[in-house]
């Protein structure tokens, strides 16, 4: 069953119908479609054409994890965790709950950050609910680790996208591309 799911999943990725287009400046993107398990539909994202993506289905009963890596020599990684509503939790991805969750997560990281206060920023796309994110600087990054983190969440229909962008660049076009990918998110209905 898992092999069949992965096979159809890869076909959707490879044969995405859109051709590259421009999102931010000169960033070329391609539309990619990711299957969400349990007849939850599909997630469509505009991914920079030069970024490598990986799909982790090891915990597919609860979530899928997407990892995006810009081409070398850029030292950045972008993760999206896709979760879905469980019975009895109708507002799990409402803007209010998302803001509370993002703030709570950021407050946990604040003691290790250069910043003294957590500043939440708003993010919104055409097909998304209002989401929130923050950016922090690690006081003492591990060797080979990342100095900056941009992290947040946003609701897309009945899905929740939690995203984390790690980088060593203070200002990054790759971070802008990652945020553009998030605001491009759209849920498509199940085709079965």
Give the model confidence (pLDDT) of 103-113 as tens digits. Answer: 999 999 999 99
| For range 38-56, the mean pLDDT | 91
| For range 23-40, the mean pLDDT | 80
For residue 42, the model assigns a pLDDT of 93
Could you tell me the pLDDT band of residue 169, with boundaries at 50, 70 and 90? Answer: confident
Please give the mean pLDDT across all residues of the chain: 84
2-188 maps to CATH 1.20.1560.10: no
Contacts of 10 (CB under 8 A, 6+ apart): none
Could you tell me the pLDDT band of residue 26, with boundaries at 50, 70 and 90? Answer: low
| For range 10-28, the mean pLDDT | 49
- Indicate the length of the chain as a whole number: 192
**Residue 1 scores a pLDDT above 90:** no
pLDDT tens digits, 121-148: 999 988 888 999 999 999 999 998 899 9
| For range 23-39, the mean pLDDT | 80
Domain-by-domain residue ranges, the chain? 2-188
| For range 96-107, the mean pLDDT | 96
Q: Locate all alpha helices (DSSP H) within the chain, ordered by sequence.
A: 2-14, 95-109, 173-183
Count each helix (H run) and each strand (E run) in the chain, helices first. 3, 11
**Residue 32 scores a pLDDT above 80:** yes
For residue 22, the model assigns a pLDDT of 47
State in Å, rounded, how far the first CA of the chain is from the last one: 15
């Amino acid at each position: 069953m898992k092999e069949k799911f992965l096979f159809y999943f890869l076909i959707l990725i490879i044969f995405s119908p859109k051709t590259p287009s421009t999102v931010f400046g000169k960033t070329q993107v391609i539309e990619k479609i990711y299957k969400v398990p349990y007849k939850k539909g599909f997630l469509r994202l505009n991914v920079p054409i030069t970024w490598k993506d990986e799909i982790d289905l090891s915990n597919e009963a609860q979530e899928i994890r997407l990892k995006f890596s810009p081409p070398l020599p850029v030292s950045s990684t972008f993760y999206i965790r896709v979760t879905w509503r469980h019975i009895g939790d109708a507002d799990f991805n409402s803007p209010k709950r998302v803001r509370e969750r993002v703030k709570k997560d950021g407050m946990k990281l604040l003691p290790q950050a250069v910043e003294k206060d957590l500043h939440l920023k708003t993010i919104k796309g055409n097909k998304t609910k209002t989401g929130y994110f923050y950016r922090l600087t690690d006081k003492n990054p591990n060797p080979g680790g990342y100095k900056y983190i941009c992290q947040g969440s946003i609701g897309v229909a009945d899905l929740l996208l939690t995203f984390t962008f790690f980088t060593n660049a203070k200002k990054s076009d790759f971070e802008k591309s990652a945020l553009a990918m998030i605001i491009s998110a759209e849920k498509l209905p199940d085709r079965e």
